[in-house]
Amino acid sequence: MRLGHMDNKTIAVDQEAYALLKSHKKRDESFSDLVKRHFRPTRKLAEFAGAWSDLSTDQRADLDAERKQGREADRRRAERVRKMGGK
């Protein structure tokens, strides 16, 4: 979804390339957004090391508690799905 005005470039692709792009495009996504989503550099997990090092002990404990609650909620949902006959 484009926000604001940017300079645009026109590129030519054959029918096969267009069909491939279109098949990967989300409903409300522009082709520019699709290209950026697929080709924007990703960050390595190691780049996040130490990202929370400035958090206090209490803040870390709060995050751990929230993460634990989320896992428990996921387990309960999965159990309900299994009981309903899902896999």
Asked whether residue 34 falls in the same domain as residue 61, the answer is no
Band of pLDDT at residue 3, cut at 50, 70 and 90: low
Asked whether residue 36 falls in the same domain as residue 56, the answer is no
Whether 1 and 29 have beta carbons less than 8 Å apart is answered as yes
Q: Can you spell out the DSSP letters for 5-56?
A: ----------HHHHHHHHHH--TT--HHHHHHHHHSPPPPGGGGTTTTTTS-
32: left (phi over 0), alpha (psi -120 to 50) or beta: alpha
Structural domain for 17, as ranges: 1-40
Query: What is the mean pLDDT of the segment spanning 14-38?
Result: 94
Give residue-wise pLDDT tens across range 34-87: 999 989 888 888 888 888 889 999 999 999 999 999 999 999 999 999 888 865
Asked whether residue 62 falls in the same domain as residue 35, the answer is no
